[in-house]
């Protein structure tokens, strides 16, 4: 739900045992402006111990009703979802004034960090990894989009935050979708605030960035951006300023992957361009339809399934240290570790904007920071402008961002 500023677990200093309700805190995994994330265990009799991740909201935000409602909505929706490609949330509560979520611990990395490490190592992810990730995410979204409440009422879920930071890959090659913090569903539909755009600007569909009505096909478009970037090593809509990113995302002009990466497979290009069609009606009707198309492509290439390729990639990019330890992912986390660099064509480390810039400022939950007015103006301009955009808007985008894609950097 918020940007996280640390991913690599810090050393655990000896000291007294720290308890948080029924959980024993092992170490802090990440910290951000609104929440802290901890590795914890749930201990029981006879040596029973289950590792988990605790996402704990800071007290000053727990007391803000809109924020606490959003966090509660995340818990309500997540509790309904049980799928092998979705990070499992199994507990929600409030202890000493702090709301928390308990979720499964993924021993792996976010796709965001995988792409940055691959860039540093000059290892292209390529079509096979992209297809494996795409099939797993299509499975997760197919399940989530079709989910119903216990009485059979459709949940009408739209994740609204499909980004590389929210796609986790375990060391065994299992892919999971994380972070339903800004999900739109029948659980929270009555509390949707008019005029609020939620999500990460560089991964929004044209209808999402302009605050038009959206449905599950918006998630498919966002997944298309993720797969495009994974397969080409190029950022699609991210620019050097937030305003320019909003305008680029609103326009939705997608260079064919074969123009960006010569030799790109024509059939995979067809699938990505269908995902990234500006008009929702021109996209895949459902995530299941997307999955079937990706499966046909994988079968035609005689690639096996099972995550073996991803597991090999993980072992290559994230080998154990001298003590046999490996870095681990935090559900919903995003960070740009230092010391990473790569060719200028590769994806920027700044892949996720803080939530206070992309969602909560508009609701009044957080104070406006520097540049908020210009961001709001860019959103208003994007929403007001008809499609296709005029030459003036196109010229403005060209002037603002002379370089379309950005390298990984701390």
Over residues 280-290, the pLDDT tens digits come to 999 999 999 99
Name the more confident of 21 and 198. 21
Identify the domain boundary among 103, 128, 162: 103
Q: What is the CATH number of the domain that holds 83?
A: 3.30.200.20
Residue keyed to tokens 């409030």 = 94
Does residue 410 sit within a domain? no
Of residues 73, 161, 293, 357, which has the active-site annotation? 161
Assess whether 53 and 181 both reside in one domain: no
Identify the domain boundary among 57, 85, 103: 103
Report pLDDT for 162.
93
Does residue 158 sit within a domain? yes
Domain count, the chain: 2
Task: Count the alpha carbons within 13 Å of 264 in the hemisphere toward its beta carbon.
Answer: 24
Assess whether 112 and 244 both reside in one domain: yes
pLDDT tens figures, 315-367: 999 987 665 566 555 554 443 332 222 222 333 333 333 333 343 333 333 33
Identify the domain boundary among 64, 79, 103: 103
Does residue 405 sit within a domain? no
Q: Where are the alpha helices (DSSP H) in 42-125?
A: 59-62, 65-80, 111-120
**Paired tokens of 323:** 């003590």
Assess whether 48 and 149 both reside in one domain: no
161 is catalytic: yes
Assess whether 217 and 126 both reside in one domain: yes
Whole-number percent of the chain with pLDDT over 90: 41
Does residue 1 sit within a domain? no
pLDDT tens figures, 229-276: 999 999 999 999 999 999 999 999 999 999 999 999 999 999 999 999
Assess whether 92 and 122 both reside in one domain: no
Q: What is the CATH number of the domain that holds 321?
A: 1.10.510.10
Assess whether 383 and 263 both reside in one domain: yes
Assess whether 210 and 347 both reside in one domain: yes
Q: What is the spatial distance between Cα 45 and Cα 34, in angstroms, rounded to a whole number?
A: 34
Report pLDDT for 280.
96
Q: What φ, ψ does residue 343 adopt, rounded to 5°? A: -60, 150
pLDDT higher than threshold 90 for residue 143: yes
Integer CA distances (angstroms), 26 to 6, 14, 29, 33, 181, in order: 16, 11, 9, 21, 24
Q: What φ, ψ does residue 248 adopt, rounded to 5°? A: -65, -45
* Containing structural domain, residue 150: 108-400
Assess whether 271 and 231 both reside in one domain: yes
Assess whether 90 and 122 both reside in one domain: no
Name the more confident of 214 and 3. 214
């Amino acid at each position: 739900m918020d940007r996280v500023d640390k991913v690599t677990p810090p050393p655990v200093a000896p000291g007294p045992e720290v308890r948080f309700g029924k959980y024993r805190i092992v170490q802090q995994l990440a910290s951000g402006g609104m929440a802290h994330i901890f590795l914890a265990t749930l201990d029981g009799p006879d040596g029973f111990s289950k590792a988990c991740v605790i996402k704990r909201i800071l007290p000053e935000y727990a007391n803000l009703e809109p924020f606490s409602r959003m966090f509660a909505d995340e818990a309500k929706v997540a509790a309904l979802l049980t799928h092998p490609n979705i990070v499992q949330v199994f507990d929600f509560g409030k202890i000493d004034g702090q709301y928390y979520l308990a979720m499964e611990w993924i021993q792996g990395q976010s796709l965001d960090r995988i792409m940055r490490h691959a860039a540093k190592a000059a290892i292209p992810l390529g079509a096979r990894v992209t297809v494996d990730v795409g099939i797993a995410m299509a499975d997760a979204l197919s399940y989530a989009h079709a989910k119903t409440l216990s009485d059979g009422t459709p949940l009408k879920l739209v994740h609204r935050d499909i980004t590389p930071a929210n796609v986790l890959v375990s060391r065994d090659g299992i892919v999971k979708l994380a972070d339903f913090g800004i999900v739109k569903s029948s659980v929270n539909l009555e509390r949707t605030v008019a005029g609020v755009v939620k999500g990460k600007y560089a991964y929004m569909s044209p209808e999402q960035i302009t605050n038009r009505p959206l449905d599950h096909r918006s998630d498919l478009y966002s997944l298309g951006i993720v797969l495009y970037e994974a397969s080409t090593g190029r950022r699609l809509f991210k620019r050097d300023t937030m305003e320019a990113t909003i305008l680029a995302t609103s326009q939705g002009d997608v260079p064919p992957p074969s123009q960006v990466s010569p030799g790109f497979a024509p059939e995979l290009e067809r699938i990505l361009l269908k995902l990234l069609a500006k008009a929702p009606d021109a996209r895949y009707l459902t995530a299941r339809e997307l999955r079937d198309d990706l499966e046909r492509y994988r079968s035609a290439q005689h690639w096996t399934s099972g995550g073996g390729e991803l597991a090999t990639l993980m072992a290559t990019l994230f080998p154990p240290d001298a003590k046999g330890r490996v870095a681990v992912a935090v559900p919903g986390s995003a960070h740009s570790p230092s010391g990473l660099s790569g060719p200028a064509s590769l994806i920027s480390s700044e892949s996720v904007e803080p939530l206070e810039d992309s969602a909560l400022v508009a609701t009044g939950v957080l104070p406006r920071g520097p540049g908020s007015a210009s961001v709001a103006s860019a959103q208003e301009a994007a929403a007001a402008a008809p499609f296709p955009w005029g030459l003036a808007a196109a010229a403005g985008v060209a002037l603002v961002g002379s370089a379309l894609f950005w390298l990984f950097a701390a």
